[in-house]
Structure 1
Amino acid sequence: MASEKESRPIISTSPNSITSEEPKVVVVENGKMVDVQDKEITMEGLRSITTYDQWTQLIVSGPLPKPRYKHGAAMVQEKMYVLGGNHNGRYLGDMQVLDLKSLSWSKLEAKAQPGSSELTGTVTLAPYAGHSLVPWGNKILSLAGHTREPTESLTVKEFDPQTCTWSTLRTYGRSPSSRVGQSVTLVGETLVVFGGEGNGRSLLNDLHILDLETMTWDEFETTCTPPSPRSEHAAACYDDRYLLIFGGGSHSTCFSDLHLLDMQTMEWSRPEQQGIAPEPRAGHAGVTVGENWFITGGGNSKKGVPETLVLNMSTFVWSVITGFEGRAPPTSEGSSLVRHTINGEDFLVSFGGYSGRYSNEVYALKPSRKPSLPSGQISEPGTNGLPPISVAANSSRGVIFEIEELQDEKNIKRTGTSQTLLQTVKGEKNQIEERLNQEELQSSQLKKELAIVENRNVELTKASNFVFTESCRKCHTFFFHLTIEVIPLPRWLLQSITVISH
């Protein structure tokens, strides 16, 4: 099994860029230095990562940002923008940019947009942490977060990378109260804000929606049981309709529950989950790739959570993608996670976090979209909004690595498995067809018996006319006796005929 250090590519050219003339690229494979100069591999930025489902620390250049956690991060084109955060209990207000093509850091000096009422001249935003950065087109929106001087309501700021300017957006309606540790999710043309921790450390589970076309806030009434008040949870959107909330924490505990909100009916539910049972966690990060929701980092009152999970949002099956040892950002609380796509291939990029120390390292993972087989049992949904009890054993989760030398053997096994599954499906199909034929024969026989009973019913009705002159009680007694001894009938038909006789 290859270790993290062994699988990390080593590039011996300039850290700022790799020329296309004669790049000298050396990759460590199974403890041996292998020259891949002649291989048809484009070694540029994230493309230097050749292994799947394994976190790799990126070698970056430029002035490194101050280590931090609870910052915001967003991808616009080929750059990751990092804003604010917390370091040693101090809020940060700087904006750092990582070019994922050259893997180089730079610091931005933002300016105010002309006409902005709050920002003037060359500015640095008021230091804050626990906010949310959301890419919107080619711009970035910043919402919520706490500063040294808390405000009563939540404000929305917009950053334009083209002009390097900040502006405060004017919104309408009743703005949500200020908060930290909330989730902000883009659903269609709206931003959905859920939960967080308000002023006075009050935990929230309210839901607010900002229409980005009209810039109007609405607080919607929902039905059924919402998630309990929490902060530091993760949220995702599926199919531009469903909002998912996972995990988070209160002042005394961490959660591992999953909640689903139908944005059309505004109804909360607890989907039936399958696969492994996620450990309770708060301060984790998540990002979606297609119908898969990747969750990394976070921790609870006992430890940090090393496994990177994936939830298939169409089937609600949890799987472990990979584990991670040590105090690296993917196992940290308050780290950021973004998605970047290069030529149709996706990469997850993690920055910062806290795991006993503050980090400014960058890690990346190329997901294969083939999660490991589920292990353990999923916990049953709780009642009255309570989180479920996690029952999965930590020992059942291991580090999953893809070893290049075993690909042929894996392909053979997959082929044999596919043939076995095909034979099983065919056998089940034959059994179902045989059962259907039997059901059709039984149905035909029942129809014939019903026709016979109906004919007997007509004859019996004619034969019973002569007893109608008797009293009702005698008629009932004689007719009951007649039907039993002359023509045996089913109980339901006997009762029907008795009623008709009356």
Structure 2
Amino acid sequence: MGSKPWLHPAPAYRTLETYWSSDDDAPGSRCSHTLTAVAATKSHGPRLILFGGVTAIEGGASSAPGIRLDGATNSVHSYDVLLGNGLGRIQAAGEPPSPRAAHAAAAVGTMVVFQGGIGPAGHSTDDLFVLDLTTDKFKWHRVVVQGQGPGPRYGHVMDLVAQRYLVIVSGNDAFWRMDVDVKELYLMPGFWTLPETICMAEANPEGDRPSARMYATASARSDGMFLLCGGRDASGTV
């Protein structure tokens, strides 16, 4: 039997028309935000959750724009993938994260976890914020993290690996990992682990580690592999 091809053609892009019921529901133009896919719940299909970012830049189209952090937001918008029923703004109970951009987000079951970023007052704290979408009573939770953690950072990436490890890569150093309970993430204190003491997803820790970088992209595969691509290193090299 022949082996299956390793490369597969990428799916074609298509434009989706979105709409909203009120001006408050409209996300508007923004950058440095996150868009996270969340699994279906009992009352909702799979959704895309848009959070944060900045809504203002300096200069015009002909000049080199700079982000205005006073335009940072902590608004949350939801898009139902199956129904295609427009982008609606979510008002969740609890303590939300501060307005921020260049933060990281990851789906953990029917929750979204947010960490880091930068806002008008500077670096956001390294606290974890969880938006629980399991029921129709959306709620923010602040995760109690004990011991040393990744520290404030922005321009980093985060994802859930092997449905168990919450992994942060870069921002200002390489790897951090937290062993999480997918069902009770915010009910128990979390502990971050330094990269020198872990074997991520139980894989062989040998081999070349990526350099510390910002503005990379990353995604976790279903088989427990964490894929990292691109970014800018400490010297500014892409």
Cα contact 1:275–1:318 (8 A) shared by 2: yes
User: 1:293 aligned to 166, 172, 178, which one?
Assistant: 166
Unaligned runs of 5+ residues in structure 2 are 40-45, 58-67, 182-187, 198-208
Instruction: Identify the residue that residue 103 of structure 2 maps to in structure 1.
Output: 233
Tell me if 1:358 matches 2:224.
no
- Provide the rounded CA distance (Å) in 2 between the counterparts of 1:291 and 1:260: 16
What amino acid is aligned across from residue 10 of structure 2 in structure 1? P
What amino acid is aligned across from residue 148 of structure 2 in structure 1? I
What amino acid is aligned across from residue 194 of structure 2 in structure 1? V
Instruction: Identify the residue that residue 192 of structure 2 maps to in structure 1.
Output: 318
Instruction: Identify the residue that residue 227 of structure 2 maps to in structure 1.
Output: 349
- Provide the rounded CA distance (Å) in 2 between the counterparts of 1:331 and 1:204: 27
Cα contact 1:248–1:281 (8 A) shared by 2: yes
Measure how far apart 1:186 and its partner are: 0.9
Listed as ranges, the matches of 1:473-492 within 5 Å are none
Query: Could you report, residue by residue, the CA deviation over 1:201-228 in whole angstroms, capped at 9, with x for unpaired residues?
Result: 2101000000111112111112222100
User: 1:169 aligned to 2, 16, 25, which one?
Assistant: 16
Is the partner of 1:282 in helix, strand or coil?
coil
User: 1:179 aligned to 21, 24, 30, which one?
Assistant: 30
- Provide the rounded CA distance (Å) in 2 between the counterparts of 1:337 and 1:309: 14
- Provide the rounded CA distance (Å) in 2 between the counterparts of 1:287 and 1:224: 23
Query: Could you report, residue by residue, the CA deviation over 1:464-493 in whole angstroms, capped at 9, with x for unpaired residues?
Result: xxxxxxxxxxxxxxxxxxxxxxxxxxxxxx
Is the partner of 1:171 in helix, strand or coil?
coil
Query: Could you report, residue by residue, the CA deviation over 1:132-154 in whole angstroms, capped at 9, with x for unpaired residues?
Result: xxxxxx9xxxxxxxxxxxxxxxx
* Root mean square deviation, CA, Å: 2.9
Instruction: Identify the residue that residue 61 of structure 2 maps to in structure 1.
Output: none
- Provide the rounded CA distance (Å) in 1 between the counterparts of 2:144 and 2:33: 25
Cα contact 1:243–1:262 (8 A) shared by 2: yes
Unaligned runs of 5+ residues in structure 1 are 1-77, 79-98, 103-137, 139-159, 299-303, 360-502
Is the partner of 1:338 in helix, strand or coil?
strand
Identical aligned residues as a percent: 25
Cα contact 1:261–1:268 (8 A) shared by 2: yes
- Provide the rounded CA distance (Å) in 2 between the counterparts of 1:225 and 1:233: 17
Query: Could you report, residue by residue, the CA deviation over 1:387-436 in whole angstroms, capped at 9, with x for unpaired residues?
Result: xxxxxxxxxxxxxxxxxxxxxxxxxxxxxxxxxxxxxxxxxxxxxxxxxx
Tell me if 1:305 matches 2:173.
yes
Measure how far apart 1:274 and its partner are: 2.6
Bigger relative CO (Cα 8 Å, ≥ 6 apart): 2
Listed as ranges, the matches of 1:461-480 within 5 Å are none
Is the partner of 1:228 in helix, strand or coil?
coil
Q: 1:229 to 1:267 in 2, by over 3 A?
A: same
Is the partner of 1:245 in helix, strand or coil?
strand
Measure how far apart 1:252 and its partner are: 4.8
Tell me if 1:219 matches 2:119.
no
Is the partner of 2:114 in helix, strand or coil?
strand
Measure how far apart 1:166 and its partner are: 2.9
Instruction: Identify the residue that residue 276 of structure 1 maps to in structure 2.
Output: 148
User: 1:336 aligned to 208, 217, 220, which one?
Assistant: 217
Q: 1:330 to 1:348 in 2, by over 3 A?
A: farther
Q: 1:329 to 1:274 in 2, by over 3 A?
A: same
Listed as ranges, the matches of 1:52-451 within 5 Å are 101=6, 161-162=10-11, 165-173=12-20, 174-188=25-39, 189-200=46-57, 201=68, 202-215=71-84, 216-240=86-110, 242-255=111-124, 256-263=126-133, 264=135, 265-289=137-161, 290-298=163-171, 304-306=172-174, 308-314=175-181, 315=188, 316-322=190-196, 329-341=210-222, 345-355=223-233, 356-359=235-238
- Provide the rounded CA distance (Å) in 1 between the counterparts of 2:95 and 2:221: 35
Instruction: Identify the residue that residue 41 of structure 1 maps to in structure 2.
Output: none
Q: 1:287 to 1:330 in 2, by over 3 A?
A: farther
The number of equivalent residue pairs is 192
What TM-score do the two structures reach when normalised by structure 1? 0.35
Measure how far apart 1:282 and its partner are: 0.3
Measure how far apart 1:330 and its partner are: 4.6
- Provide the rounded CA distance (Å) in 2 between the counterparts of 1:277 and 1:352: 24
Query: Could you report, residue by residue, the CA deviation over 1:277-296 in whole angstroms, capped at 9, with x for unpaired residues?
Result: 22111000112121211100
Query: Could you report, residue by residue, the CA deviation over 1:272-331 in whole angstroms, capped at 9, with x for unpaired residues?
Result: 223432211100011212121110011xxxxx223x1112232422212349xxxx7551
What TM-score do the two structures reach when normalised by structure 2? 0.71
Measure how far apart 1:244 and its partner are: 1.2
Query: Could you report, residue by residue, the CA deviation over 1:102-142 in whole angstroms, capped at 9, with x for unpaired residues?
Result: 7xxxxxxxxxxxxxxxxxxxxxxxxxxxxxxxxxxx9xxxx
Q: 1:224 to 1:346 in 2, by over 3 A?
A: closer
